[in-house]
Structure 1
Amino acid sequence: MGEGVEQPALQVIVLGAGGGPKEDNVTAFLVRSTAAGWKKGSLLAVDAGVHLAAIARILDGHKSIRTEDSKPPAKPITLVDGPFEGLQIAEGSSPSANAAFITRDLVECFLITHPHLDHISGFVINTASLPSARPKRLAGLPSTIEAFKNHIFNNIIWPNLTDENNGAGLVTYLRLVEGGTPALGDGYIEVSDGLSIKTWSVSHGHCIERHNHRGSNAGSGFVTSPGVEASPRLNPTSGTMVRSSSQSSRVADDNLRADQYSQRYCVYDSSAYFIRDIATNKEILIYGDVEPDSISYSPRNRQVWADAAPKVASGMLGAIFIECSYDDSRQKELLFGHLTPKYLVEELRVLGNEVKLYINMAKNGPNIKKRKLDGDGNGSFLLPYARRRSTRNESPTSPTSRRENRGYVSSDDGTSERQVNAESHDHGSSPTPVFHVSTEAPLEGVKIVVIHMKEKLDDGPDLGELILKQLKGHEKGQLGCEFIISYTGQSLYF
């Protein structure tokens, strides 16, 4: 780094960038605080669809130097290039042995976004072969932990390697509290040397089976707003698949009542993790698999964006790792809880609006009651938070009315506005903070790292290049963010 250039606070190593179908390139990252260096407990694994083999492949391409010139050769030696630059390893050890050392000694916590196989299989397979002096921590939302207990470490799919239910004791569970624990102040919990995290649950599509089970909106009576084009769903009476066009989905959403969903639909929970460098308070945000709020039965992305907005405005959020599984040619009915470039930019615009709102309130004080949010011409991407105009009669307890009571309203012209709770953002007599972005480019300086692309395995155009082109076409330079396509072996600093 040159003189006067700010040193990076966080490093992310991409072990797996894809979402399948090739099993050797599925979601996995290593995150560390640069201030912590390379030492015991300094690496945080975020998902582990691949793990040990991916680390060994990366190490195989590294160069190294001895720590001193004395003879016989000094031990250890230091890696001088690549993602693990600066790490000291044993002289003469193979990449596999060094990968085992990294996992055994440097990684103590695995932070799992959700329990689908492409996010956990590497961790599960590696664990039994790498016992250490203390158990590995497996951290996630309670729903994720329960899935591991019931469906993975159950002595059927895999031996019970945990310290619960008389298991082998190689893994201990860390159940995270959504939104953080109030007793911890700002809700962040330290999970590795130099790193703390906060988690939010998000939606990863819905189960099409007609039953009521673990999903976060099971029994909640949630139904999408009028005008929202919903994902494919089962007909509640016939059990057949309804593939909705724009018109048919709106009719269905107007006519079907909430209680028709409560016993038939559940939503797969995934997670979004804010990861903070304790030394500098710099952060990144890593999403698990996620669907757009505009077609979700349980939209929860905006709570993440609202939490992210002050961090973006202050310049403390350096990057967002978020999936874009398909290009825009993928039919909406076949997304299965994932994003395309169109929907990813749609979500980023919501984040941009939250940043603008935060900046405007900070500058103008708590008397600002509501501000119009940008849209894509018809405001549809803001749904289901704000209700489009409708002639339907609604009771005070209807889902739409409940949303309005929570502070989301419709303007007379049918566009969407958000009612702001001024008290929760009251800056009092504090001086106006210094912002690192403007309302003209609300995501300036934020890197959007695209992950979880599902390869087509054909001889067509490169999927990453296609997705990048489509993202730029939708964004049109209006948000100011930088898009980065991830790949295995990539090292990113923030």
Structure 2
Amino acid sequence: MKAAAALLALLATASAPAPSAFDMVVLGARGGIEDGNLTAFMIHPHGDARAVTCDAGTLVQGLRVAATKGTIGPAPAGSGLSPVGYALTHDIKGYLISHAHLDHVGGLIVASPDDSAKPIYALPSVNAEILRSYFRNGPWSNFTDRGEPPRLGKYHVADLVPGATTPLADTAMTVTAYPLQHGALESTAFLVEHGQDGLLCFGDTGADSVEHSDKLRQVWTAVAERVRAKRLKAIVIEVSFPSERPDDKLFGHLTPRLLLAELHTLEGLAGKGSLKGLPVVVSHIKYALTDVQPQAKIMAELAAGNDLGVRFLLPEQGQRLRF
């Protein structure tokens, strides 16, 4: 009887799904001109509300949608804050900014007067562009501790060293930044880790074959062992256009065809079948000024070419995903 009970317990453990490592609230799912729903993902360990965002194209509006859907909040009794106010000023402990395009930083800039003090984490070239273009007299007040005076000092500008792991202040997570080629601009992929588990969040990026670069291959090489060990819980990566888009009109973005080719490169480094079941969140689909939006076409193209067994997910604003 004892042996049978032990066997049943072992089988139950083996068949149980792995516990969630990360929660991710979609504050902004799209790219381009869809103001109010632009790239921003709020990431925190499961059971620990202390979060950072991967990009910040939309903050307050995304939090409002999340509050309506019940995926954030409520604020603690006595805080005097709404769920949106508490999440912005207490739960979000910092911002990971991949590059300085407005659809990735606009929410941060607009929220800055009422935000709480926290770091902005980015590669040096990205932080320099944010200070040059936005946080200066004229376009906006300088809410940071660097750059043109007067400096209000609310945000600490934290430069990340490529490939070096950095603790994310006041959270249980770390981040490692990897440079990407986004046309002529430097962008970033962020490997966010908690314990042994990681989540890989990309800013805008072109394919190596189009950009004549090896930046994506460097990222895939860096995470291949985590993929083999099933310690990479999800990838968040852009697909801006359907595959029919000509390469010379991509402007540093991916299509389903190009993403599938890149994922095959990752599988080649991590091992045959290593991507099976891996969640891949398809972000930054560009809003089209036509009667039909491209989401269905892009997801159909990804499904048709998916011989890797990955789980392609289409995020929606306000949604909470667990990995």
Question: What TM-score does the superposition give when structure 1 sets the normalisation length?
Answer: 0.60
User: Using a 3 Å threshold, how does the CA distance of structure 1 residues 275 and 27 change in structure 2: closer, same or farther?
Assistant: same
| 2:64 aligned with 1:56 | yes
Cα deviation code 1:110-142 (max 9, x no counterpart): 110111000001001101123x4xx22111000
The Cα of 1:471 is off from its aligned counterpart by 1.0
SS of 2:145's partner is coil
SS of 2:286's partner is coil
Equivalent residue, structure 1, for 2:318? 489
| Whole-Å separation in 2 of the counterparts to 1:140 and 1:484 | 26
Equivalent residue, structure 2, for 1:244? none
Letter of the 2:187 counterpart: S
Equivalent residue, structure 2, for 1:127? 112
Equivalent residue, structure 2, for 1:174? 158
Equivalent residue, structure 1, for 2:174? 196
| Whole-Å separation in 1 of the counterparts to 2:75 and 2:94 | 21
Identity of aligned residues (%): 29
The Cα of 1:188 is off from its aligned counterpart by 4.3
| Whole-Å separation in 2 of the counterparts to 1:446 and 1:5 | 13
Match of 2:84 among 85, 99, 114: 99
The Cα of 1:298 is off from its aligned counterpart by 3.5
The Cα of 1:98 is off from its aligned counterpart by 2.2
Equivalent residue, structure 2, for 1:22? 34
SS of 1:122's partner is helix
Equivalent residue, structure 1, for 2:188? 271
Letter of the 1:489 counterpart: G
The Cα of 1:466 is off from its aligned counterpart by 1.0
Equivalent residue, structure 1, for 2:5? none
The 8 Å contact of residues 442 and 480 in structure 1, kept in 2 or not, is answered as no
Equivalent residue, structure 1, for 2:141? 159
Letter of the 1:55 counterpart: L
Letter of the 2:238 counterpart: E
Letter of the 2:27 counterpart: L
| Whole-Å separation in 1 of the counterparts to 2:192 and 2:170 | 11
What pairs with 1:231-270 in structure 2 (closer than 5 Å)?
267-270=184-187
What pairs with 1:432-471 in structure 2 (closer than 5 Å)?
439=272, 441-460=273-292, 462-471=293-302
| Whole-Å separation in 1 of the counterparts to 2:79 and 2:289 | 38
Equivalent residue, structure 1, for 2:236? 321
How many aligned positions are there? 308
Equivalent residue, structure 2, for 1:149? 131
Letter of the 1:486 counterpart: P
The Cα of 1:61 is off from its aligned counterpart by 3.5
What pairs with 1:34-433 in structure 2 (closer than 5 Å)?
34-35=46-47, 37-38=48-49, 42-62=50-70, 83-84=71-72, 88-90=75-77, 97-130=82-115, 132=116, 135-164=117-146, 165-180=149-164, 187-205=165-183, 267-278=184-195, 281-356=196-271
- Of structures 1 and 2, the one with the larger relative CO (CA 8 A, separation 6+) is 2
The 8 Å contact of residues 315 and 445 in structure 1, kept in 2 or not, is answered as no
SS of 1:89's partner is coil
Structure exhibiting the larger radius of gyration computed from Cα positions:
1
Unpaired stretches in structure 2, ≥5 consecutive residues = 1-11
The 8 Å contact of residues 318 and 445 in structure 1, kept in 2 or not, is answered as no
The 8 Å contact of residues 26 and 41 in structure 2, kept in 1 or not, is answered as yes
The Cα of 1:355 is off from its aligned counterpart by 0.8
Letter of the 1:204 counterpart: H
| Whole-Å separation in 1 of the counterparts to 2:61 and 2:311 | 30
What stretches of structure 1 move > 4 A for 4+ residues in a row? 91-94
| Whole-Å separation in 2 of the counterparts to 1:315 and 1:340 | 26
Letter of the 1:445 counterpart: G
Letter of the 1:84 counterpart: I
SS of 2:267's partner is helix
Letter of the 1:469 counterpart: A
The Cα of 1:28 is off from its aligned counterpart by 0.5
Unpaired stretches in structure 1, ≥5 consecutive residues = 63-82, 181-186, 206-266, 357-438
Cα deviation code 1:128-163 (max 9, x no counterpart): 123x4xx22111000011012211111121111112
Higher helix share: 2
The Cα of 1:5 is off from its aligned counterpart by 3.8
| Whole-Å separation in 2 of the counterparts to 1:324 and 1:5 | 29
| Whole-Å separation in 1 of the counterparts to 2:19 and 2:72 | 17
Equivalent residue, structure 2, for 1:472? 303
SS of 2:114's partner is coil
Letter of the 1:471 counterpart: L
| Whole-Å separation in 2 of the counterparts to 1:15 and 1:190 | 20
The Cα of 1:93 is off from its aligned counterpart by 7.0
Higher strand share: 2
Cα deviation code 1:392-414 (max 9, x no counterpart): xxxxxxxxxxxxxxxxxxxxxxx
The 8 Å contact of residues 257 and 302 in structure 2, kept in 1 or not, is answered as yes
| Whole-Å separation in 2 of the counterparts to 1:192 and 1:288 | 23
| Whole-Å separation in 2 of the counterparts to 1:171 and 1:93 | 23
The Cα of 1:92 is off from its aligned counterpart by 11
User: Using a 3 Å threshold, how does the CA distance of structure 1 residues 92 and 302 change in structure 2: closer, same or farther?
Assistant: closer
The 8 Å contact of residues 15 and 54 in structure 1, kept in 2 or not, is answered as yes
SS of 1:128's partner is helix
The Cα of 1:53 is off from its aligned counterpart by 1.8
Letter of the 2:181 counterpart: S
| Whole-Å separation in 1 of the counterparts to 2:161 and 2:79 | 44
The 8 Å contact of residues 191 and 197 in structure 1, kept in 2 or not, is answered as no
